[in-house]
Structures are given as structure tokens and as C-alpha cells.
Structure 1
Amino acid sequence: IATCSVPTVPWAWAEQLGVGGKILVDVKVAPEAGNLVLLHRHPDRLEGRFTTRWGSFMTMRRRNDKASASPPPRSAHTRRRRTTIPPHPWWNHRIGWLLAQFQGLPADVHIGMHLDPDTRAPTTSFLSAPDGSWATVSLTSNHGHYDVIEGGPTALWDSLERAHQVWLEHEQPDWTRLGLTITPDRQRLWIDTPDGTSWPWPP
């Protein structure tokens, strides 16, 4: 068991395992974006599926997370629309949040919540990126729709919606249908089988 969270699996760990050995690793490419994966040692690779339930260890190195997030700046140039996907997928739709990392979401995106100044109850979720892009999403459902306000050069919420569509197109996979293949020169995330739909890991 690797008792820390890592963005990629070092091949040196594979070299310490004999063929047939197993290693449980918490792999996350961004805050909350990943899970525990049980990897099996083959002669030329590590390979395995994510665990049924989501889990997490302390990160090996410091990365941006919701605790350090700051609210996005306000701008006169905003785009308003509605969405039907969960307004804070990093908490209640983590597979969708993971897939969003492979659908054009910029690296080092901050995530967080705006709180009501009086009740301290969450009112909107937000994302902000290093290029100045940001999005806020209302937590209040209007017949299954949530209000989205975006600003900056990158439409951040589009990545979340593309990821949700990928999830639907693959019949809403749970964690056990997702897996990783690790070789000395590359790592890949896949759905169902290693030779099926896949993406380079990290994105």
C-alpha cells in the first residue's frame, strides 16, 4: 500500500514488485480527481482497476485544493447560461470530475464554495483557473437546472459538461469500470478494458 496520494505512479514502484505482486495506490491528477487503484504487476506493466468506494490519502506534495481556493474575480464580461449536471461534481460526482480533467479543463484549477454571509450556508460553487477564467454555479435547482456564470478566456464549465456526456455515452460507469495501465514510458486511464476508450494519464 502506498500511503500517500500521487499524480502519477513512479515506475520505480513497479520495479520493487515481483510479477504477480499488487500495490494499492491513491492516484489523483487534481484535487478530488482520482481514487484508490489496485495495480497488478505484469512482466511489462502495472495494470488494474479503481476500487469500488472512493478513498483518499494525504498528498505526497502540495497541490492547489479547495482549502486554498479563492473566489473568482468579478468581470463586466460574463456569460450566463444553465446546466443540468451536478453543481459541485468534485464532491458528488467524482467520476465526472475525474473525466473532466481529460476534456480540456486547465491544470491547477481552484475549486470552492461561496457562503451566505449571514447563514454561512453554501450558495454557489466556483472554479477558477490560472489564466483568469472562472465559473460560478448556483446550488439551487430550478426544475433540474442550475444557473452558471462564467468569465475569462476559457469556458471552464464546458469541460464538465463534455465529461458528463462521456460518462453517459459509456452507460454511467462506476469506479470499478475504470482502470490504469502503467509502463516505463507512459500511463493511461481507460474505461472497461485497456484497449478500449482511454486517455493519456496525466492529461
Structure 2
Amino acid sequence: MTTTTTATTIATRAGRGRGAAGESGRGAARDAGREAAREAARGAAREAVARGPVRGAARGPAAAGISVPGLTPAAHGVCEHVLVDCRLRAATELFAHAWDPLVVAALSNGPLRRRALLASTGGMSDKVLTETLRRLLANGLVERRSYPAAPPRVEYGLTPLGASLAAGPLRAMADWTTAHGEELLEAQERATRG
């Protein structure tokens, strides 16, 4: 059975897309499916490491056309063989959701209450903010602080890990956007015109 088949089978058994389950049931099934796919990828990576390199085959990030300065085989372990289970992939997933970097940037100036966070991101619905905060909390980038008061007061702020993301990659992206934003917008306009 292939890795993909195994992940699909496990996700199907978990109930992904089946029955009349409520939204939380579908979300749990989706999470179970994702976890099953990750575990299958980890298994494939372990098998690839156990087999060793294929004679004459290119390996590592460079084989996939990816050049990351300072990313040595010792620094990324399994990445040398399979990019699916790589720390690089885990880091790039932080940018996979459009609102995550914006919320991290909004919190980089200090903790905010939910309403202020909604206002500072502009255009984000309450539901999307809830999902975004849950993701950021699960990744250890944001912390939730509640204060005993009437009415209860809750603030969200960056953890040291979240602050390092804001000061590092997000700052670099902001600098790049400042330098090349006009070129990017012009290219997008040319592409939409045909």
C-alpha cells in the first residue's frame, strides 16, 4: 500500500467528508486526515533514511531546486531525503494562511484585545480571527492572557517565538515589499490584462 493510499484510508476511516457530522466533527476528521498524512510522510521519510541514498540520484533541498543558506544536512536531518517532513516546510506553513502574518504583525507592537485586533487587521471576520488565533496559539506564536474583571478581559500577545518571527522573516518580507511592491503590483496587473 502506498503512502498516499495509507493516508487516504486513515483519513476516510476517521470520517473525513462522511455522514451528517456537525462542523466540529468535520474539523476533527480533517485534522485527523492531516495528521494521518503527516505520519505517513514521516514513515516514508524514515524508510528513505533507512534505505540510504539512491546511487546517482540528487538529494536534499538542492535536488528540488531549493537553496537555503545555512541549511546543512545536519541542521535539517530528514530534509536531506524528503522535503515533505522538513522544518523548512513547517516554517513555510506559517505563511500559508493569509491572515496569520497580518495578525502577528498587528501584535508586534504589543498585546491587543480582540476588538482592537479586528480593527487593526481590517476586513477580517470574527470567525476568521478565531481560526487564526487558534492556529497561532497552537504553533506557539501567540499567547492568550485573561484578566479577572467584570466583564472578563482577554488580551493576545506574541510569545518570544512569535516576536522572533515578527522581527526576522516578517521584517525581511516587509523590507522586500517596500523595495519591490510597485514592481509586484505592475506584474500582477499585466498578468490580469492578458
TM-score tier by shorter-chain length is under 0.3
* Structure-1-length-normalised TM-score: 0.25
Higher normalized strand content (fraction of residues)? 1
Higher alpha-carbon Rg: 2
Q: More relative contact order in 1 or in 2 (CA 8 Å, sep 6+)? A: 1
* Structure-2-length-normalised TM-score: 0.26
